[in-house]
Amino acid sequence: MNQENNKIILMLMAGIAAMLMLFISLLLIFIFMQRKKIQYGLNLQALQNDQKNKLIEAAVRSEEIERHRIAEELHDEVGAILGSSSLHFYGININDCDDISKEMYHKGKSLLDEGIHKIRSISHNLHSSILQELGLKEAISHFCGNISHNNIIKIDLNLTDKYSTKASHKNISIYRIIQELVHNIIKHARAKHIHIQSYHIGNNLVFHISHNGDGLTHQQYQGLRFIKNGLGLKNIQNRIILLKAELQFSHHLDDYLIEIKIPVDQIDQP
């Protein structure tokens, strides 16, 4: 009787052990399949992100090529025509003209000179050659100086010069982001004053853009950045993605603040 009980106990123990082994095997297979599924999802996500970045990069590159083409046409074609017109204006003798004609002449010449200046300014803003010649800090200073000079808005700058990179496309993207944000502030925020500051934290270049107009909250930016009519914000977002940067909108007291944090290749130490 004891032998039979022992056999039953052994059989039960063997059965339990077999079930445990089966359960553990199934659990390991399940964990393996889940990990494989997660890894597949991560690989697929990485591939999709890579393809998305390539599409964005191609779009940004095409936009930059088109900017250069328009800038050259403005400078070489329209600028040349306006320049020739200006020479003809200066060749006119108005000594024998009446006061009304003289006033019309001076008004026309003034408008023509203003048009030449505008074309030159637009051409420079569209073209990125100033970045290669002067660097990021001076290019931003030149752009903001032209806006302040035209009394559109007051812009104060406090920019670091302890930044360098061999990747010129990064400088172009940073410059275009600053351009687009300033244009948006002028066009939509109705601000009277903008302050742009840059500094470095570790290997990050940080820009603070504050203004006293009607700005965006970060929630509003999230909602507007991909809409069809928000082309400027979409362009900014595309460049932010390419730079692997962070963009944050906030409101502090009477000012709106935009913060851009950009990982860069090199920070020149003092």
Question: What residues form DSSP beta bridges with 91?
Answer: none
Tell me which DSSP letter residue 213 carries: S
Q: What is the rounded average pLDDT of the residues 200-229?
A: 80
Q: Calculate the alpha carbon distances from 91 to 27, 88, 94, 105, 112 in Å.
A: 93, 5, 9, 12, 14
Residue 100 maps to a domain: no
Average pLDDT over residues 217-234: 69
Segment 154-169, tens digit of pLDDT: 899 999 876 655 557 7
Host domain of residue 177: 154-270
Query: Residue range 220-234: average pLDDT?
Result: 68
At residue 209 the predicted structure's pLDDT band, cuts being 50, 70 and 90, is: very high
Range of lowest pLDDT (23-32, 57-66, 223-232) = 223-232
Question: Does the structure show a pLDDT above 70 at 228?
Answer: no
pLDDT digits (tens, 9 = 90+) for 42-56: 777 777 767 776 776
Q: Does 221 reside within a domain?
A: yes
pLDDT at site 251: 84
Residue 133 lies in a domain: no
Kindly state whether residue 79 falls inside one of the protein's structural domains: no
At residue 192, the pLDDT reads 87
Average pLDDT over residues 4-15: 72
CATH code (residue 184):
3.30.565.10
| 245 found inside a domain | yes
pLDDT of residue 163: 66
Question: What is the rounded distance in angstroms from the CA atom of residue 62 to the CA atom of residue 96?
Answer: 54
* Average pLDDT over the chain, rounded to an integer: 77
Query: Does a structural domain hold residue 80?
Result: no
Percent of the chain with pLDDT over 90: 10
Give the model's pLDDT for residue 214.
Answer: 84
Residue 270: per-residue pLDDT = 42
Average pLDDT over residues 170-174: 86
Nearest to 142 by CA among 168, 120, 170, 112: 120
Answer whether residue 160 is part of any domain: yes
Q: Provide the pLDDT confidence category of residue 26 given band limits of 50, 70 and 90.
A: confident
Judge whether residue 267 has pLDDT over 60: no
Query: Cα separation of 109 and 203, whole Å?
Result: 51
Residue 248 lies in a domain: yes
Structural domain total, the chain: 1
Give alpha helix (H) positions in the chain. 2-73, 79-90, 99-126, 129-134, 136-149, 168-184, 218-224, 231-243
More confident of the two residues 201 and 32: 201
